[in-house]
Amino acid sequence: MKQEIHEKSIDTASQAMLWKAKEEGMETVWDRYEKQLPQCGFGQLGVCCRNCNMGPCRIDPFGEGADKGVCGATADIIVARNLLRMIAAGAAAHSDHARDAVLTFKKMSEGKAGSYRIRDETKLLSIALEYGIAVEGKSCEEVAAELAHALLLEFGKQDGNLLCTKRAPGPRLKLWTELGIEPRGIDREIVECMHRTHMGVDNNATHILLQGLRTGLSDGWGGSMIATDVQDILFGTPQPRRSTVNLGVLSREKINVIVHGHEPILSEMIVEAAEDPELLKLAQEKGAIGINVAGICCTGNETLMRHGTPIVGTFLQQELAVITGAVEAMVVDVQCVMPSLGELTSCYHTKFISTSPKADFPNTLRMEFHEDRAYEIAKEIVRAAVENFPNRIPEKVNIPEEKQECMVGFSVEAILSALGGSPDPLIEAIKSGAVWGIGAVVGCNNIKVMHNHGHVTLVKELIKNNVLVVTTGCNAIACAEAGLLLPEAAELAGDGLKTVCKALGIPPVLHMGSCVDISRILLISSALANRLGVDISDLPAAAAAPEWMSEKAVSIGAYVVSSGVFTVLGTVPPVLGSQAVTALLTKDLNNVVGASFAVEPDPFKAADLMLEHIDEKRKALGLESRR
C-alpha cells in the first residue's frame, strides 16, 4: 500500500527531504519497501528453513500443506532455530565490536597505537581490580596491558563463566546458574548456536531457546559491557553536555563529514582530525569556513555523548542526509549502513568512504582504517572531504532548517553523580511515587513503522505517567529530535517526575549512549536492585523497542528479558508460525526468568502494558500501585 509522504515520518525535516528525493527521482528505503509488498508470509512467520540443501522447506501455517520439513523438523523446531541464529548474529555483531575495541586498547598499551591514550584512569583501575589485576606500583600502560589480556580471554574462554556477570544481583546470577544459562566464553556461545542449529542437532524448541538466552547474556553482560568499559577508558566516560540534532545541523558554509556506523575507534580520530590546523587552513582555501563533523546511528551517539558532536539523524535518515546535497563525505564503518548509499552518493558530489577491513559496499572509496596509523588515516579521510567541497552543486543543496538542542551523556557514573553519589534519592522518589517507575526504551527504526512515531509517542506516554525513561540508540536520537532530551521537556511529564527533573536539572528522558551502552542500563538496574535487596525482576521497570529491525535487537531482547525486565516489541518477530515458541516468549518465560516479551505495535497500548507491569511490581514491593 503506497504511503503519502506525511505518513512516512513524523519528522518535518525528513518529510522535506522525501519531497526533494521525489522531485529529483531518487530512490529511498521507503520506495524499496513499497516495491517489496506484499512481503513473504512464510518468512514473516519464521516457518521457512534453509539450514540444509534438502530444502528450502516451509511449513503451511494453515495446516493444509506440509506440517514438517524434509528432515521431520516441525514449525516449533524451525522457528526456534531461526530465532537462535538471529540472536547469534546479533551477539556476534556487538561482540566483534567489543573485540576490536579491546585490540585497539591492547595496541595502545604496547605503544603500537600512539593516537590513542587513556582518558579515564579511574575507570581503568577500578575495572582492573575487578578482574583481579594488582595495580599498585604499576604504570597505567602496564595495568592496561594486563587488563587487555584478561578481556581478550573472555572471548575464547574454555573454562568457567564470564566475569562481568558478577555485576548482576546475587539472586539473578543464582537463577542463571540453576537454569544452566550463565554465559561462558562469548565466542563459545555464538559457535554453539550455529552448531545446535545445524541439521540434525538440537530439535527441542525450549532447549534451543534457552541457549538463545545464554547467548544473549554473553552479549549484554559480556561483549557489550566490555565494549562500553574499554571505550570509556580510551575516550572518556560520558558526562552531561549539550548538542544539536537533526538534518539542520549540516552547514552550508562548512565541509560536512558524516560518521556513520557503530564503532568509535575511527570516529574519535575523525573528530580530532577535523580540528587539525593544516586541514582547517585547507578548508578556507577551498572556500569553506570550517569542518563540520556530524553523526548518524550509534557512531554518532558515541561522539555526541563524549564531544557534543551533532547528530544528523537516525538509521532511516542516512539516505536523506545525502539528498540534502550538502555532504562532502559519508564515512562508514560497520552495522546499519545501507548498501544503497553507493548508488545514491553517485548522484551527488558526496564521497562514500568505507573504512572497515571487514565491510565493503558498492561504489565506495576504500580508505581502510588501521589503529597503528589512526590519526594519519583520519586526516587523509578528512582531507578527501575538504578537497571535495568545490564539487558541491549549489542548486542541489537543500538543508532543512529543523535542528533541536539536546542534553546527552548520562552514563551510570553521571547519573549517580547527579544523585549525590548514591541511587538512594532515586529509590526514595520511586517509593514516594514521584517517579512511578523506570522505562528503558531503545532500538532501531523500522520502515514498517512511521518514522519516529513509535519511539516518540511511547516515550511521551511514559513520562506523562511519571515514568523516568532511559534511552539508547536510534530511540535516543528520535527523542532528541522531538525535544525530549532537554530539562524543559519536564513540562510534558507528570507532576511527580516534573518536580524531580527540575530539582536535578535533568530531562525526563536520559540519553545513555549507543546500542552497546544498553549495558549501562543493566548496571543502573543492578545498582537499584542491590540497594533494595531484590532481584532486577522485582523492580518497577519495563523495557521497549518500538521500531526494532536488526538481529542485534533480537540479542538485546534476549539478554534484557533474561535479566528480568519485561519487554514490549513494536514490530512482530518471525515466531508466530509456532504457537509453542510464541507462548514461551510471551508467557512461559515469566516462570523461568521472571520476565517475558509482549508484542504491541500501537505505542499507546504498549505504554499501557508497561505501566500495568510497573503497577504490579510496585504492589509486590508494598508501594502505592494505582496510577
Does residue 101 form part of some domain? yes
If asked whether residues 568 and 436 sit together in one domain, one would say yes
Helix (H) / strand (E) containing 234: helix 224-235
Q: What is the tally of structural domains in the chain?
A: 4
If asked whether residues 533 and 563 sit together in one domain, one would say yes
102 forms beta bridges with none
pLDDT tens readout for residues 519-571 = 999 999 999 999 999 999 999 999 999 999 999 999 999 999 999 999 999 99
Residue range(s) defining the domain that contains residue 527:
408-620
If asked whether residues 264 and 229 sit together in one domain, one would say no
Does residue 467 form part of some domain? yes
Q: What is the CATH number of the domain that holds 607?
A: 3.40.50.2030
Q: How many CB atoms lie within 10 A of CB 198?
A: 11
Strand 404-408 versus strand 241-245 pairing type? antiparallel
pLDDT tens readout for residues 201-211 = 999 999 999 99
Cell numbers representing residue 464 in the block: 506523562
If asked whether residues 144 and 47 sit together in one domain, one would say no
pLDDT tens readout for residues 158-196 = 999 999 999 999 999 999 999 999 999 999 999 999 999
If asked whether residues 503 and 580 sit together in one domain, one would say yes
Does residue 291 form part of some domain? yes
Distant-in-sequence, close-in-space partners of 503: CB < 8 Å, separation ≥ 6: none
The domain boundary residue, chosen from 174, 203, 235 = 235
Cell numbers representing residue 319 in the block: 539516505
What's the mean pLDDT when you consider all of the chain? 97
Does residue 370 form part of some domain? yes
Distant-in-sequence, close-in-space partners of 122: CB < 8 Å, separation ≥ 6: none
* C-alpha–C-alpha distance, residues 327 and 344, integer Å: 12
CB-based burial of residue 171 (10 Å sphere; 0-12 exposed, 13-18 middle, 19+ buried)? middle
Mean pLDDT score, 582-592? 97
Does residue 626 form part of some domain? no
Q: What is the CATH number of the domain that holds 80?
A: 1.20.1270.30
The domain boundary residue, chosen from 235, 257, 286 = 235
* C-alpha–C-alpha distance, residues 14 and 16, integer Å: 5
pLDDT tens readout for residues 42-52 = 999 999 999 99
Does residue 433 form part of some domain? yes
To the nearest 10 degrees (0 to 180), the angle between helices 277-285 and 374-388 is 10
Q: Does the structure show a pLDDT above 90 at 64?
A: no
